[in-house]
Amino acid sequence: MTVKEIFESMDYGPAPESAADALAWIVDQGAAFGQFINGTWTEPRQDFQSKNPANGETLADLTQASQDEIDAAVSAARKAQPKWEKLGGHGRAKTLYAIARLLQKHSRLFAVLETLDNGKPIRESRDIDIPLVQRHFYYHAGMAQLMESELPDAQALGVCGQIVPWNFPLLMLAWKVAPALAMGNTVVLKPAEYTSLTALLFADICHQAGVPAGVVNIVTGDGAVGEMITAHPDIDKIAFTGSTDVGRKIRQSTAGSGKALTLELGGKSPYIVFDDADIDSAIEGLVDAIWFNQGQVCCAGSRLLVQEGIADRFYTRLKARMDGLRLGNPLDKCIDVGAVVDPVQLQTITDMVSTNTDGETYHANVDMPVEGCFYPPTLITGLAPSARLMQEEIFGPVLVSTTFRTPAEAVALANNTRYGLAATLWSENINLALDIAPKLVAGVVWVNATNLFDAAAGFGGTRESGFGREGGWEGLAAYTKPKGATKPLKPLAALSGDKGPVDPLDRTPKLYIGGKQTRPDGGYSRAVYGKTGALLGQAPIANRKDVRNAVEAAQAAKGWSGTTGHLRAQILYYIAENLSARAGEFASRLNALTGGRSGAKEVDTAIQRLFTCAAWADKYDGQAHGVPIRGVALAMKEPVGVIGALCPDEAPLLGLVSVMAPAIAMGNRVVLVASDPFPLAATDFYQVLETSDVPAGVVNILTGPHGDLAKPLAGHMDVDALWSFSSTDLAATIERESAGNLKRTWVNNGAARNWSHDDSRAFLQASTEIKNIWIPYGE
């Protein structure tokens, strides 16, 4: 074809990337790989194959890790971890820097190998994935350098088990390995069964960078290998990216083990286009949102919401753009959409679309390759919000759509999902955009852009999209723990007695639900005795219906989350003022309940704690991340929602206040289960709340056995987080039952906490979710 003919037709000619170097590297390894354990390779076995999804050709033979090999990897990581941590931040920074430099030097090799193994277009591997991988290691080299000065009270968790998916094999590895190593942890990582090759090349890079033996271990295989990792008793943390169903199983299987856990799971992200949007720009953004990596992206903008007035025009222009997309050999630099990762995934996508009878389906009029795992870009319009394809993740190049009329309806439709990973909105009205973005239930929101990522801005979701963040300062919390050893917490039992009442006039304590004193649904109460055996009163026994009522009251008080920090601070100060006015009475009650003499000190510390949280209410700010775009990523600290808490037994008043105050300071509503053996301090305290302008439903207080109330609270779908500081070790029950809606949990695992020590920052962190709103600026 001549130059003249090219200009006349404007057709794209082939621009193939050579795979020679990548294939040569595979051949140099014998086209067969064992496990990378303790800095060396095990003997390979031909257990399964890695194939090129674009043509079905076998790339290499891989080895299914055995239990013995997993044990060896964990043992190597355990042995290497203390020395790696003691190397210090600067020593670890130098190693991470070396990894980043080697990733740059071999960037083309990684890009081609990723495309061969995964099927994504070479342009995406070369221009997006690999540069981001390098960025994460550079960024976390800096984090390692700064750890000792900026995180002086943090230390490594230990050995981290990490499981990554097949859609971004090397990028997901970087998201997990870089922060783990930076903070002094060692890792045992399992890449996806379909796409292990770049992880194995990364192992080679670690060897070249001088990473000490045992610090990084790579094991391959199917889901059974992942199960061995999550079940291993000598692993301190599990980090998983993958499907929500598997994430739920991991939450259940690790319940009560004491393992730290972060989950980055599925999504059904909304892509909202308002009628004042730049339609052409919004369509180009949509191409990136849903057909990037063949739609095999957890945060893909797979639910298109278009304002009704422009819907017809938008769909017409979108279909024309779809028809111009190019499918084919992923190594061709002119290809827009590559191959689906595996025939199994292709069949899943095909079945979900072919069995759908709702709406109108449009397949792009494009040339389809005759071989390989390819699926055409697809648009399905006219779906109801409840339609299966509007609710379920397809994980393929399929876009589903509906329309809306008003901004309020757009928000309602966007949030009508069990997921909460990401969202995109397009509008030329910046006031509208900044009004809508905070209302979207998502961990990341992009304004007039999509699929922006950077190591400085944490990525992660809410609801059933998982918990925890990867990247940024907030991502480091997942790989550190407070310094210092913990002491076991002994269970505290209620005191017994046989003497008559101290006060002849019964006070009749009740539950406190929705701003009212309420009798327990079951109609039962139990006697509460003091150290002398005297009867101090009767405490109501709450049941699951009382839990239901308290959660409903908390949900009804969601307006509290929209109040200002200044208002919340005033109310916390008012609570402290009213508690101070009755300090002597509360001190006497505490002394009578516990038989001690430190009641006055506990009351005084509780008042101080209220002042501290009031002070933080309007000062615990987010930040503007320095991301490498012409724009800003605003990290907003939002309330978690409804938080349930089993309050400590050993500090009946101070523990309750220490849990309640930071939670409501950040705009959450709480359902508190009072100290089991000493509940009357809590039933006295709600009298203070009643006189302190606390809105109804913001604070709800139940009394009763923690073991009976933990399960209904943990299983309640409208509870967003559950904390347990009970002297009864309920970690296993809470974490297992929380898997239903994947609520955040914070459990003590039977360890004691010093409640006189002000640890408000930890509680403020647990009381907030980070939402990163990306806002490009300029023309």
Residue 761, classed as helix, strand or coil, is helix
> DSSP string spanning 152-206?
TTEEE--EEEEE--SSSHHHHHHHHHHHHHHTT-EEEEE--SS--HHHHHHHHHH
DSSP 470: B
Please report, for residues 250, 353, 438, 504, 536, the alpha-carbon distance to residue 501 in angstroms, rounded to integers and kept in the order given.
Answer: 50, 71, 53, 6, 6
Query: Two tokens at 419?
Result: 């997921």
Active site residue 298: yes
Q: Is 160 a catalytic residue?
A: no
17, 264, 735, 737: the catalytic one is 264
The span from the CA of 243 to the CA of 192, in Å, is 12
* Residue where the block lists tokens 């002070």: 615
Can you tell me the distance from the alpha carbon of 416 to that of 500, in angstroms, rounded to the nearest whole number?
56
Q: Identify the helix (H) or strand (E) that includes residue 657.
A: helix 654-665
Strands 768-776, 631-639: parallel, antiparallel or unpaired by DSSP?
antiparallel
DSSP, residue by residue, 696-721? TTTEEEE-S-HHHHHHHHHH-TT--E
Contact predicate 195/169, CB 8 Å = yes
Q: How far is CA 523 from CA 507, 519, 526, in A?
A: 16, 7, 11
Distance separating alpha carbons of residues 56 and 382, to the nearest angstrom: 36
C-beta separation of 669 from 643 below 8 A:
yes
SS3 category, 589:
helix
DSSP string, 257-309: S--EEEEE-----EEEE-TTS-HHHHHHHHHHHHSGGGG--TT---EEEEEGG
Residue 16 structure tokens: 């193939």
Residues 6+ apart with CB under 8 A from 351: none
What angle do the packed helices 169-182 and 130-150 form, to 10 degrees? 10
Is residue 24 within a helix (H) or strand (E), and if so which, with residue range?
A: helix 20-28
Tokens found for residue 690: 């009643």
CB neighbours (10 Å) of residue 334?
16
User: Which of 298, 373, 613, 647 does the annotation list as catalytic?
Assistant: 298
Alpha-carbon span 3 to 1, nearest angstrom: 7
Q: Could you give the CA distance from residue 691 to residue 581 in angstroms, rounded to a whole number?
A: 12
Residue length, the chain?
779
Task: Please classify residue 562 by burial: count the beta carbons closer than 10 Å to its beta carbon, then call 0-12 exposed, 13-18 middle and 19+ buried.
Answer: exposed
Catalytic positions, written as ranges: 264, 298
